[in-house]
Amino acid sequence: MNPEIQAINERVKEESRFVDRIVGEISKVIVGQRYLVERLLIGLLCNGHILIEGVPGLAKTLSVKTLAGIIALKFQRLQFTPDLLPADLIGTMIYQQHDGKFVPKKGPIFANLVLADEINRAPAKVQSALLEAMQEHQVTIGEHTFPLPEPFLVLATQNPIEQEGTYPLPEAQIDRFMLKLNITYPNKKEERAILDRMAGGGVPPVEVVIRPEDIVRAREVAAQIYMDDKIKEYIIDLVFATREPKQYGLDDLANFLQYGASPRASIYLAQAARAHAFLRHRGYVTADDVKSVCLDVMRHRVILTYEAEAEEKTSDDVIRRVLDGIEAP
Amino acid sequence: MPAPKVIAMIAALAVMCGSALASPAASWPQVPRKRPLTRWLPGETKPEPSSPTALSSNAAPATPSAGLFPTLPALKLLPTTPTASSEPTSAPVVAPPASSVAPTVSVRSRLERDNGQFHLGEKIRLIVELSWVGEPGDVLPESPEEPALMNLTKRGMIQSSRMVPQSAGHAVVMTYLYELEPAAEGAAAIEPIEIRYRLRGSTDRLHLTTDRHTLTILPRRKPWGKIIGWTAAVLAAAGILAAGGMAIARRVKRAREAARVPPPPSPFEQMSAELDGVRKMFTQGVVKDGYDAIERFVRKALGLFLKSDFRHPTITELTERLAHESLDERLRDRAASILDRCMQVKFAGYTPTVADQEQVIADCRTFLEAMKEK
């Protein structure tokens, strides 16, 4: 192996030890949902935000809260409602009577892990304030600008049912989320384990496994993970296939795709693939890493046509077809 | 009920009906019929209604040559003397009317076939017709006596009557149909038959005698139809048997040929051959492609042994699927380990040493043996 890659490989193995400990600790509380836990870690390692879609009761909040407890991160949960104001999120200036001055009062967004529950129930201005904070990693209150703590990860949830009275996120804002996860029901075996575990009532306590600074260091290592040119070409091919499917022999998708994935998709796909390799204790990215995260990175970045809707094709179907159609290196 | 009895009953009923109709017929209103109730026997010629020679009425009796049998030759008036004739169809024998109003009664007999030649086994039909012009009750015939037969056997007799419309009145025809059968080859004869009758209002018994018929009985016909039928059936059966035999022979031949073709190699043999190919690649110094071939080898081996498609899933997906296939954990780990090494070569620029190459080949061999045992 190339000495540099060998060195990275060794360092990744060293720095990624906490992953198994985190997974082990989370599994004390959460049954199954390894997929969710791994994606949360990918978000943390890549400094990317996550949009979670799933019906209520799938332990989304519990997972995030448990993860925050394990990493000793400050966790805040925000329930988005139609009457929520930006100030309720980012904070406001408060008048102090004793000295007659306005002082900034930081909002709940000043946390490491922010769970924005049912983000599509708040009006556009609140969504916009949150997304701006996500992008800039800083918040301006009055005349003062405050940086957000590191790591800073927003996990927004959307309920796929009950769409009445909601404010769907615009495509441009959805694009700012690195990953969009579809959480599904646990299987029968997992459901039984949930039943047994929750019979005693209460959530088992978890231990702090790592500190936030370990996460920051792991980010640096993950960013150095070696990516072969073949993998880079593969990523480009996957993204371009969503824009020009005919060029890749995917003629059947031409009528289904209105807009393909943005360059942000290529960036995030590469980052997420590196983070996935980190979780697998590898210092290099394989095609498997790209395939593993491709759906989560791309599913909210392709816009389908009405024909696709009429044919009941989802973005997942289209991306799976792209993955089948593009030969992996 | 046996057929002769039925025939006898029908004949008796016909006679009764004829008798019943005979007496009141004079008082019945004469309703003109649009369609005459006429039944023509085989060989008879239908009279032309407009023919001037057709029978007209009882009062004006028709001449023997013109009336019911216009095609027949002129009648001979032989009231009591039987007439021997070799002709198959004889001229009617006519009895003169008893009085000026009495009907003229005639009898005629003929064979169904004109030439008088019959084959042994064939049925011979003798038709005897007693006819007169007038009403059915004008003449009261008695049952004819049994015919005297030479070299023939009587099988039965059917009696029937019919009325033939004339321009004025009716002609009544009593028919006696004798069914005979030749007894042996050679000459045969039907002796004259005496038919007795009475006229209405008279107690005198009159009689008429039919002609004598001579016949020649030929040997039995050869049953060509049956012969041809049997021959065709035998030929068809032979053809079917031959076709079946050929089909079986063809199948046996194919089976033998198939037996000669070696069976496809088992998954183990197939994959062993592929592994040997990879080893050869390593020996030739084609290392990177060799590791690609190793990856394909593992995926294909899993696919062949577990009868599923493992070409595309990622290593993580593959491991999960193998867990679902109840594959032993050590085997799963071994497969994942081999694939990981392939990934190192493919994506991390790792150049495997000769020892690495030998090790991966050995691991593949162990994996294959374990899969075979599973």
Q: What is the pLDDT of residues A279-309, one digit of tens each?
A: 988 889 998 899 999 999 999 999 898 988 8
pLDDT of residue B188: 92
- Report chain A residues touching chain B, CB-CB < 8 A: 1-2, 5, 9, 226, 228, 230-231, 280, 282-289, 291-292, 324, 328-329
Q: Each residue of B148-198: pLDDT tens digit? A: 999 999 989 999 998 888 776 788 999 999 999 999 989 999 999 989 998
Q: Are B124 and B175 contacting, i.e. CB atoms less than 8 angstroms apart? A: no
d(CA B335, CA A211): 36
Cα four-point dihedral sign B307, B311, B317, B322: positive
Verify whether the Cβ–Cβ distance A2 to B312 is below 8 Å. no
Q: Each residue of B330-348: pLDDT tens digit? A: 888 888 888 888 888 888 8
Size of interface A-B (CB pairs under 8 A): 48
Verify whether the Cβ–Cβ distance A9 to B348 is below 8 Å. yes
pLDDT of residue B222: 81
Nearest CA in chain A to B345: A1
**Chain A residues within an 8 Å CB radius of B314:** 287-289, 291-292
Which residue of A1, A288, A289 is in closest CB contact with B349?
Answer: A1
Q: How confident is the model at residue A267 (pLDDT cuts 50, 70, 90)?
A: very high
Q: Which alpha helices (DSSP H) does chain B contain, by range? A: 3-22, 224-260, 267-283, 287-306, 315-324, 329-347, 354-373
Cα four-point dihedral sign A111, A112, A118, A124: positive
Q: Each residue of A217-260: pLDDT tens digit? A: 899 999 999 998 989 999 999 999 999 999 988 888 888 988 88
CATH, domain range B267-373: 1.20.120
Q: Is residue B343 less than 8 Å (CB to CB) from chain A? A: yes
Q: Are A39 and A153 contacting, i.e. CB atoms less than 8 angstroms apart? A: no
pLDDT of residue A309: 86
Q: Are B158 and B3 contacting, i.e. CB atoms less than 8 angstroms apart? A: no
Residue B244 neighbours by CB distance under 10 Å: 10
- Test the B interface: residue of A4, A231, A288, A326 with most B CBs within 10 Å: A288
Q: Is residue B216 less than 8 Å (CB to CB) from chain A? A: no
pLDDT of residue B3: 55
Reported ipTM: the value is: 0.70
Instruction: Transcribe B165-204 into DSSP letters.
Output: E-SSSEEEEEEEEEEEEE-SSEEEEE---EEEEEETT--P
Phi, psi of A22 (to 5 degrees): -65, -45
- Spell out the domains of chain A, with CATH numbers in brackets: 22-198 (3.40.50.300), 225-325 (1.10.8.80)
Amino acid at B302: L
Verify whether the Cβ–Cβ distance B348 to A324 is below 8 Å. no
Which residue of B314, B315, B350 is in closest CB contact with A1?
Answer: B350
**Lowest model confidence (mean pLDDT) among A12-21, A198-207, A212-221:** A198-207
Q: Is residue B312 less than 8 Å (CB to CB) from chain A? A: yes
Cis before residue A151, ω within 30 degrees of 0?
Answer: yes
Verify whether the Cβ–Cβ distance A288 to B344 is below 8 Å. no
**Chain B residues within an 8 Å CB radius of A289:** 314
The answer, yes or no, to whether residue A132 has pLDDT greater than 70, is yes
Q: Is residue B350 less than 8 Å (CB to CB) from chain A? A: yes
* Domain residue spans of chain B: 3-24+35-218, 222-261, 267-373
Q: What is the pLDDT along chain B (374 residues), one digit of tens a residue?
A: 555 566 656 655 655 544 444 444 334 444 444 444 444 444 444 444 433 333 333 333 433 433 444 433 333 333 433 333 334 445 666 666 555 567 788 999 998 887 888 888 888 999 999 998 888 888 889 888 888 999 999 989 999 998 888 776 788 999 999 999 999 989 999 999 989 998 888 888 888 999 899 999 988 888 888 889 999 999 999 999 999 999 999 999 998 888 877 777 888 888 888 889 988 988 888 888 899 899 889 888 888 888 888 877 777 778 888 887 777 888 888 888 888 888 888 888 888 888 888 999 999 998 888 888 77
Instruction: Transcribe A21-88 into DSSP letters.
Output: HHHHHHHHH--S-HHHHHHHHHHHHHT--EEEE--TTSSHHHHHHHHHHHHT--EEEEE--TT--HHH
Which residue has tokens 């966790």? A75
Verify whether the Cβ–Cβ distance A292 to B314 is below 8 Å. yes
CATH, domain range B3-24+35-218: 2.60.40
Listed in sequence order, the residues at least 6 apart from B283 whose beta carbon sits closer than 8 Å to its beta carbon are none
CA Rg value for chain B: 52
DSSP letter, residue B45: -
Verify whether the Cβ–Cβ distance B350 to A286 is below 8 Å. no
